[in-house]
Structure formats: structure tokens, C-alpha cells
Structure 1
Amino acid sequence: MSKLVTIYGGSGFVGRYIAQQLAERGWRIRVAVRRPNEALFVKPYGVVGQVEPILCNIRDDASVAAAMQGADAVVNCVGTFDAGGKNNFDAVQDKGAERVAEAAAAAGVKTLVHLSALGIDRDEESRYAASKRAGEEAILKHFPSAMILRPSVVFGPEDGFFNRFASMSRLGPVMPMFGAKTLFQPVYVEDVAAAAVKGVEGEASGIYELGGPEVKPLRGWINEILSVVKRRRLVLNQPFWIGKVMAWFLDVGSMATGGLVRNSILTRDQIKQLQVDNVVSEGAKGFADLGIEPIAPEVIIPSYLWRYRPNGQYDAIRDSAKNLRA
């Protein structure tokens, strides 16, 4: 019988790619999520019955333990950008991670892979980074042989980085932003998934920092996006103090609604994160130690950012038409 892996958050951006790659390698997969009916798209990743979404609440001990019953390996991809509510930073990224590791150790699971984030050891201000650090500590406390992955900003068709700025480019001639000089090292989602597979199959353990082959300041990446979407925009960097004021009003507005209206524009915690470079540390273990050669963003992003061009999918046709003789 093929081996069984439980992927917590397996229908999320990174989790779905891990599920795909493990399915191709013959693993049976449980995708543990809060809303299984919204994760049915994972079922075709394998043959009939190979990939199954199941109900799980990362905040509940019994639910977490039941989801990994009989599993040979566990992957924890659950994360959040919500500072408030029941599924906040601490509940999900600290206590949730500890719950998974504790249950995995008690169940005798052979391998555990945990998805963390790059730069959290240098970010001393944000609550997001603090919860990620606490989660890592909890993982290693209960499961010392675990593999912990710290990816930089992850890109791919469903990402919230390149897609977000490409979408902003359609709003007008000026693109205001914060942290133009902050360095980023975007990493392709398929490469992160390949690293996770190494951990699931027992080929690696320990902490790995994952960054792509290129490092640029945020302004440089936005210029790359503008080149791909064929738009000319003035990228206007704003002082962080302005961002703090804006984020304060947006956060307070969200709290005034009791959390019913989520602040998805700019939070105070995000401003803190933007002040810290998001690049691989010197001497850290990374892709080279895993035998993986990461793919550069310029190879991938044109395949999904084309829809933000002035003429979308017809942009290339219009360009070629200009070369036709009358």
C-alpha cells in the first residue's frame, strides 16, 4: 500500500503544489482544511481516491489528531495574515503549529515538514514574525527531526505578490508604495513544493531558507512587473511614517466593524515587515543543499501576468499586427 501524508492547509497556495507533486510520486494524500467542500479541486491531482479533502480545525486538538491518524508523514502549510479574530497569528502560526507537532510525535509520524517564512529571525517588531518564530520553536520542541522551510515571497499563478502589484498598475499613472528599497528574493512555488517533498520522503531535515536566484529592491520588482504587463507608471515611494498613519486608520476601521470588514489593504504589521529585507541569510542551508536549482521569476511571471496588459491575451497579436504590411 502506498504511503499516506496529511497536508494541513493543503488547498492553499503552496499546499496544493505540494499535494500535486506528492500525488505524482504515488503518495495517498489527506488535505486537511476547514472547508472541504471548497477544496474539491484537489481531487483530480491523483487517481480516484488518492487525494481527499477532509475537515480539520487547526485550533482543535482532536481534529488535528484525527486528520493524521495512520499517516506516515505530515506537512503543515497553515498560515494567516490576520492579526485578529479566532484564527489570528498566535492561534494559527504558534499554537496551531505546536498542536500539529505534538500530535505527530504522539502518533509516531516518521517525517514532518513545516512551512515558515524568511526573515522572521531579523524581524523583531511584527506580530506575524513573532508568531512564526514561536511556531518554529514549538515544532522543534516536539519534533526535533522536522524540516522547516523559510521561503521568501512565493510566486506563481495564484500568488499575492506579483498579481497584486500588476493589478495596481491598472488603477492609474502613479503607483504609490512603501519600502521601495527593501530587498526581496521571490521563490517559485513549484521549487518550494519540491523542497517540501524532500522532507516528506525523509531526504532532508533541519531549517532551510529558500530564495530565488535574483535579489532586487521592491522598486526593481515592480519595474519588472510593469515591463511584463507593458504599462508605464510612476512608482512613488512613500515614507514609512505615512504608511503607519494610513495603516492605523485602516486597522481601526476594521476593528470598528468587529472584524466583519477585514483590512486587506495595508496593516500596521505589514508596514513593520516591509522595513526588513526578505533575503536568504549568509551561510544558511538552502536549495543548493537540497539539489534544487530555483527558477527565476522572469521565466514564469509572463505566463500569468499577461491578463494585466492593456489588451490582455490579445496584446501580442496587436504587436505582431503592427509589423504587417498594408
Structure 2
Amino acid sequence: MAGGSALRDKLVVVIGGSGFVGAHLAQELLSRGARLRLASRHPERAFRIRALANLGQVQFARCDVTDTQSLARVLQGADAVVNLVGAFSGDLDALQGRGAGRVAAQALTAGAGAFVHVSAIGADPESRSGYAHSKGVGEAAVRAAFPGATIVRPSVLFGEDDGFLNLFAGLIARLPALPVFGPKAQLQPLFVDDAAEAIANALADPAHHGGKIYEIGGPEVITMGEINHRIAAAQGRERMFMNVPDTVSGLFAKLTGWLPAAPLSSDQWMMLQAGNVAAGGTKDIAALGVTPRPLSLFLDRWMTRYRTHGRFAGRAPAA
């Protein structure tokens, strides 16, 4: 663990800390002895972190990145700040474009010595994708407001409690045949705990990592088609996967992407086509002191609950 004691007793404020990444980052920071303030619009969603902290080690605060006064209040006294705010819908510029710059500016005003902004691979202010465009605008705003910020662009993150593997796992468990959008699209899945360690290492050494951009991914590049096949194999199921042609996928996304809970929006389709692979392979995450672990290390164990007979699946024929 690089910089294991550098964060001890430091107050780290995590904006957008009540979600998937925030929970895992909180565990990493608490293990290093940091004091945490988890801030979001719904801080109650992070209350489960209390059980992992010592008395007085973690605080919860309500804030809105579109409100300067709200940010100033939660960032008061911060030694270090992480911005995890991200969204696929709503006013993306307000949340992860101008909003990211507002967080960075208030962090500097509060006197924070380290700032890590978590962006995304593909962030580009010139992109036609609303998500990638706002992420690119947000990066520029962060660099302008806090020149010493570290920007981390992770590939798709996976974990036992994620919304990525579990989405496909649930569908594969229920359906005998499934469509696969963008079956040849390449991803570089990164274990969320490895991403958390990389972020914490950047926070711990701003003199070295400040002002830099890191694209971080896992140790292997996998296609969407292969991910589906791996999940089915880990469940012990035989499934029919139907590769959907790109023209059909694009039309499907355009016609249905606006619906609530749509499986594929136009924005997501554009990003899927572009792929999600770190430009430097695993070089950048190694520069942050992390050796990423492969999906295969965890998948069989995590898929146990989706098997027909659970942990006794080996005693019965596959579904």
C-alpha cells in the first residue's frame, strides 16, 4: 500500500461518496487512518460505512454540486478532496461539467492540499456523446480551478455489488436467449478496490501525482461478447447469445433509449462503440502503485448466488 500513513488523521471529503465507488473508496481510506466526510445529495445511502469506522472517524453531509454555498460548507477544513460525482441522465453539464469545476474551486478555497477528480475514459469536450462531452468539459474546468488536481479516468469498474456484472448476471440467470449489443466492443474491466487504492495513492502523494491525468484499467481487454459468455459459464448455464448488428443496435438505442430503465441509450451506444480501454494499457495504474487483479479471480465465486442450486450447483445438472 503506497502512502499508507500519509493520510492518517487527515480529513478527506468525498463528494458523491454515497454510491458504489464511494463505499469502496471509504473502506480504503478508513484502513489508512483517514477521517472521512462523505457528502452527497443522499448521504443516508452511505450509512452502512459507519460499521467500518472508529468512533468519530466518519461524518455524513448533504450537499449539491450545483450550489456553491452547499459545497463551501461541506469542504470546510478539508485536507484532501475526491470528486466522484457522475451521472448518465439529467443536466450533465451542471453535475459533471460546470459542477466539477465548482467542486475544484471550492476545494482550493477551503485550503485542500490534494484533489482527485474521477472522470472517465473517453472524456472529450468535442464528443457527440453528452456524457463524454460533459466529462471532458469537467476535466478542463477542474484543471483551470485547481491546477494541482489529479485526474483519474477509470475503465468500467466491477465488484461483487456492482451494477455492471450483476445486470448481465441477472438476465443470464432468467433468460434462455439474450441479445448482445456491441459484441466486439472492447472493455478493460477494473476491480473497484484496485481503483480505490489508486485514488487513495494519488491523494497521499499530490507532489508526485498532482497535475497529471491517469487512465486506469484492469490487466486484460475483454469484448462484450466474451463477458457474457464468461458470466454464463461461471453460472454453469448454457445460453444462446444473439449478436445484434451495429445498425440495429443504433436504431434500437435511438428509438427506445429515452424510456425509463431502457437497456441502451444513444449516449451509451456511442460510448460502447468507442470502447473503454486505457490508452496506456496498465502502465498508468502501475504508476499509481497498483497491480490490478483480473475478473477471473472473482467471477466464479460471485456467480454462486445466480446458479440454480447456489453453492451446491456442482451436485446438480446445469440449467
Normalized against structure 1, the TM-score is what? 0.89
AA at the equivalent of 2:26: A
| Residue pair 1:90, 1:131 contacting (<8 A) in 2 also | yes
CA distance in 2: counterparts of 1:57 and 1:145, whole angstroms:
23
**How many residues are matched?**
307
Flag the 1:283–1:169 CA change in 2: closer, same or farther, 3 A.
closer
Give the superposition deviation at 1:318: 4.3
Deviates more, 1:277-286 or 1:10-19: 277-286
Against the structure 1 CA distance between its residues 284 and 220, is the aligned structure 2 distance closer, same or farther, given a 3 Å change threshold?
A: closer
Q: Is 1:76 matched with 2:83?
A: yes
Question: Which residue of structure 2 lines up, in the alignment, with residue 323 of structure 1?
Answer: none
Q: What stretches of structure 1 of length at least 5 have no aligned partner?
A: 255-261, 320-326
Contact persistence 1:240–1:271 (CA under 8 A): no
What's the offset of the Cα at 1:264? 3.9
Matched, 1:243 2:249: yes
Shift of 1:164: 1.1
Aligned pair 1:11/2:11, yes or no?
Answer: no
Q: How does 1:81-160 map to 2 (within 5 A)?
A: 81-82=88-89, 84=90, 88-121=91-124, 124-160=127-163
Of residues 232-241 and 144-153 in structure 1, the stretch that sits farther from structure 2 once superposed is: 232-241
Partner of 1:165: 168
In 1, distance between residues paired with 2:305 and 2:128? 36
Cα distance in 1 for residues equivalent to 2:288 and 2:164: 25
Describe the superposition over 1:198-249 as per-residue Cα deviations: whole angstroms up to 9, x where unpaired.
1211252311111111112111111111111111112111122222332233
Deviation at 1:266, TM superposition (A): 1.7
Measured in 1, the distance between the counterparts of 2:282 and 2:142 equals 19
Any residues of structure 2 matched to 1:216-227 within 5 Å, and which?
Answer: 216-227=222-233
2:205 aligns with one of 191, 202, 206:
202
- Name the SS for the 2:264 alignment partner: coil
Q: Which residue of 1 aligns with 2:264?
A: 266
Give the corresponding residue for 2:293.
295
Q: Secondary structure at the match of 1:286?
A: helix
Amino acid at match of 1:309: R
Aligned pair 1:228/2:226, yes or no?
no
In structure 2, do the counterparts of structure 1 residues 142 and 285 end up closer, same or farther at CA, with 3 Å as the change threshold? farther
Q: Is the 8 A contact 1:178 1:238 kept in 2?
A: yes
Partner of 1:315: 313
Q: Is the 8 A contact 2:156 2:188 kept in 1?
A: yes
1:124 CA drift (Å): 2.9
Q: CA deviation at 1:6?
A: 0.4
How much does 1:38 deviate? Answer: 2.7
Decide which moves more: 242-251 or 54-63.
242-251
Query: 1:182, 1:195 → 2: CA distance?
Result: 25
Check conservation: 1:149, 1:209, Cα contact below 8 A: yes
| Correspondence for 1:35 | 42
- Give, in angstroms, the shift of residue 169 of structure 1: 0.7
Q: Is the 8 A contact 2:125 2:135 kept in 1?
A: no
Partner letter of residue 284 of structure 2?
A: G
Runs of 5+ in structure 2 lacking a partner?
A: 1-7
Contact 1:123–1:273 under 8 Å retained in 2: no
In structure 1, C-alpha distance between the alignment counterparts of 2:12 and 2:197, rounded to whole Å: 15
Alpha carbons of structure 1 residues 97 and 232: separation in structure 2 relative to 1, 3 Å: same
Match of 2:278 among 268, 274, 280: 280
SS at match of 1:39: helix
Partner of 2:67: 60
Runs of 4+ in 1 over 6 A off after TM superposition: none
Cα pair 1:152 1:187 within 8 Å, conserved: yes
**SS at structure 2 position matched to 1:69:** coil
Measure the CA separation in 2 of the matches of 1:176 and 1:70: 50
**What is the Cα-based RMSD across aligned positions, in Å?**
2.0
Paired AA for residue 107 in structure 2: A
Q: Which amino acid aligns with 2:285?
A: F
CA contact (8 A) 1:44 1:51 kept: no
Where 1:135 maps in the other structure, the secondary structure is helix
CA pair 308-283 structure 1, distance change in 2 beyond 3 A: closer
In structure 2, C-alpha distance between the alignment counterparts of 1:284 and 1:154, rounded to whole Å? 14
1:262-285 superposed Cα distances (whole Å, 9 cap, x missing partner): 334221111111111211114885
Determine what percentage of the aligned residue pairs are the same residue.
40
